[in-house]
Structure 1
Amino acid sequence: MSFTLELGPLSDDAKALAEKELRETPENVKKGIEELKELLKNDPSLSFDTDDEFLIIFLRPCKFYAKSAYELMKRIADFKEKHKNLLDNLMPADEQDGFIKYNVVNVLKDRDHKGRRVLIQNAGSLWDPSKVSADQVFRMLYLMHEAAVLEPETQVRGGVVILDFDGLSTKQVMALTPSVSMRLLSFIQEAMPLRLKEVHIVKQPFIFNMVWNIFKPFIKEKLKGRLFFHGTKMASLHKHMDPSCLPKNYGGVLPEIDYTGANWYPAIQNHLDHMKKMSVCGYAKK
């Protein structure tokens, strides 16, 4: 089995969704790109590729308002500067072992019933922080988002995250420190050019409350409205995600997950030019 990133043009359904939700018309696209190029031209502190398709990555989540996309780019630059020890020139090879050897992060083979990409983070017993640190997990998630934004369909439809806390114990809780939690939430809420539509927390044991109490103070209202807690009740998850698109691991009709990052990591490796563009964007080097 092999994974590939979908680089083709938008489907007709996605085009209609983009026009309805993102103001995506030929006129708005043209205007947004022109205005964003001008804003970047007049701000030498920022260094972003100005190819039209690359700029659309930032314009789509901002509904083609150039000023909003420009502000997003500045927040991305700020975030990358603040965490440059983790993110400076980050490339997939830097976390290759984490992707291939350890089943901490995964993606479903197919999109869900709304055409969204589905990422799974195994934050319970499948994650051994002594082998893959919380910083490494963050870098892996960051790289995965950089790959996902290359897909036009994902730019429009967005993504869904399933946080699987099955078997969570104190060693994982201890690794999820306030600083780790704050960094992840800051990225999601301020500096991610990807439409995060839903976050589903599943199979969480009672000890999860310790994790939730760390995260809760930092969560803004917008994200709070997209967080759903299901425990072991997969019927609750199915109210948001159709079982026809889910594996048996989550009460779905598809076969149990039998693949890991070792299967889909090559799909990222096939697009290193794009990953390099994402890696170096931010503040201009002095």
Structure 2
Amino acid sequence: MANKFDIDISPESPELLAIAEKELRETPEIRAKGLAELRELLKKNSDLNFTDDENFLVIILRVCHWYPESAIETLRDIAEFRKDYWKVLKDLMPEQEKTAFIEGGLINILTHKDHKNRRIVIYKCGSDWDPSVISEDSIFRMFYLLHILAQLEKSTQICGCIVIYDFEGLGMKQVMNITPSGTKRLLTFTQKAMPLRLKEVHIVKQPLIFKMVYALMKPLLDQKMKSRLHFHGDDMSKLHQFVPPNYLPKNYGGTLPEIDYSAKDWYFCAEKYHDFFLQYKDFGFKQ
């Protein structure tokens, strides 16, 4: 992969397939059976509008460990989410959030993966966020667009991703713009309607005022998310227990250089996969 600001859409390596078999039950026989059964379930759920293309169905089946019944439930959850939040997601394409990508600098993807071959997403929610420039809705739309992009990467389908929420410099200006409805939307999405393996969520550099934000989140967290949520404050050695420092930039106590790129650099990758976004925007319930 020549461009470091691109996803890797190459076929699965033998090493990746070995991980898929161990962690996801994926074998050629289970794969063939799962695809056939999910296609039949899609026919029975005639109110759903999703492609039955193999590449897309594999995305859904992998996150469900190749259980077709769970996969159709996931597709229904995705459709419900898109119906409930249609005002935010209707006809969403990367160009609609170009300003958030180019000027916001709030969501970033590290150009390398960690020791478990997982993508690392950085979500800066503190003083870097000016709500008068980038709205809460806009941040969510950008997050949603990036999750669509991540689905195309085979290694991410199999190994998953982790998210680091960086609350450095969080103040009342940001807290007053983190709404109960926006928090519910984000957590509903990540817990029910995001077809990716979210392995860990790390909260770092959070000041005392973060307690106000967590008070909004806590009642909405399911047990699975609670088990994957870790709070580190300014102690990066706690983060290093999950991701070794040689896989992290200096910003997070790592040995790699400080981050000198942002979502601006990733925007052109999103543009590159325009056709997948175009297809995805019509997924959900049939009109």
- Does TM, scored on the shorter chain, surpass 0.5? yes
Residues in 1 aligned to 2:184 and 2:275: alpha-carbon distance in whole angstroms: 30
CA deviation after TM superposition for structure 1 residue 13, in Å: 2.4
CA RMSD of aligned residues (A): 0.9
CA deviation after TM superposition for structure 1 residue 93, in Å: 0.6
Whether 1:252 aligns to 2:246 is no
CA deviation after TM superposition for structure 1 residue 268, in Å: 1.2
Q: Name the residue aligned to 1:61.
A: 63
Does the 8 A contact of 2:48 with 2:284 survive in 1?
A: yes
The equivalent position to 2:272 in structure 1, one of 265, 270, 273, is 270
Q: Name the residue aligned to 2:164.
A: 162
How high is the TM-score relative to the length of structure 2? 0.98
The equivalent position to 1:242 in structure 2, one of 204, 223, 244, is 244
Which stretch has the larger CA shift, 214-223 or 275-284? Answer: 275-284
Aligned residue type for 1:162: I
Q: Which runs of 4+ in 1 moved over 4 A?
A: none
Q: Name the residue aligned to 2:116.
A: 114
Aligned residue type for 2:24: L
Does the 8 A contact of 1:61 with 1:193 survive in 2?
A: yes
Output one character per residue of 1:126-150: Cα deviation in whole Å (capped at 9) or x when no partner: 0111111111111010000000011
CA deviation after TM superposition for structure 1 residue 16, in Å: 1.2
Residues in 2 aligned to 1:233 and 1:96: alpha-carbon distance in whole angstroms: 34
Secondary structure of the structure 1 residue equivalent to 2:133 = coil
Secondary structure of the structure 2 residue equivalent to 1:10 = coil
Aligned residue type for 2:40: E
Q: Name the residue aligned to 2:94.
A: 92
Q: Name the residue aligned to 2:47.
A: 45
How does 1:5-44 map onto structure 2 within 5 Å?
A: 5-44=7-46
Aligned residue type for 1:282: G
Residues in 2 aligned to 1:118 and 1:145: alpha-carbon distance in whole angstroms: 12
Aligned residue type for 1:85: K
Specify every segment of 5 or more residues in structure 2 that has no aligned partner in the other structure, as ranges: none
Residues in 1 aligned to 2:211 and 2:44: alpha-carbon distance in whole angstroms: 47
Aligned residue type for 1:23: R
Does the 8 A contact of 2:4 with 2:111 survive in 1?
A: no
Percent identity for Structure 1 against Structure 2: 49
Does the 8 A contact of 1:2 with 1:263 survive in 2?
A: no
Residues in 2 aligned to 1:275 and 1:248: alpha-carbon distance in whole angstroms: 33
Q: Name the residue aligned to 1:181.
A: 183
Residues in 2 aligned to 1:152 and 1:178: alpha-carbon distance in whole angstroms: 34
Does the 8 A contact of 2:110 with 2:122 survive in 1?
A: yes
Residues in 1 aligned to 2:224 and 2:123: alpha-carbon distance in whole angstroms: 21
Residues in 2 aligned to 1:258 and 1:101: alpha-carbon distance in whole angstroms: 14
Secondary structure of the structure 1 residue equivalent to 2:82 = helix
CA deviation after TM superposition for structure 1 residue 25, in Å: 0.3
Does the 8 A contact of 2:64 with 2:71 survive in 1?
A: yes
Does the 8 A contact of 1:76 with 1:191 survive in 2?
A: yes
CA deviation after TM superposition for structure 1 residue 4, in Å: 1.2
The number of residue pairs the alignment matches comes to 285
Aligned residue type for 1:233: D
Residues in 1 aligned to 2:52 and 2:96: alpha-carbon distance in whole angstroms: 26
The equivalent position to 2:233 in structure 1, one of 227, 231, 234, is 231
Residues in 2 aligned to 1:263 and 1:180: alpha-carbon distance in whole angstroms: 26
How high is the TM-score relative to the length of structure 1? 0.98
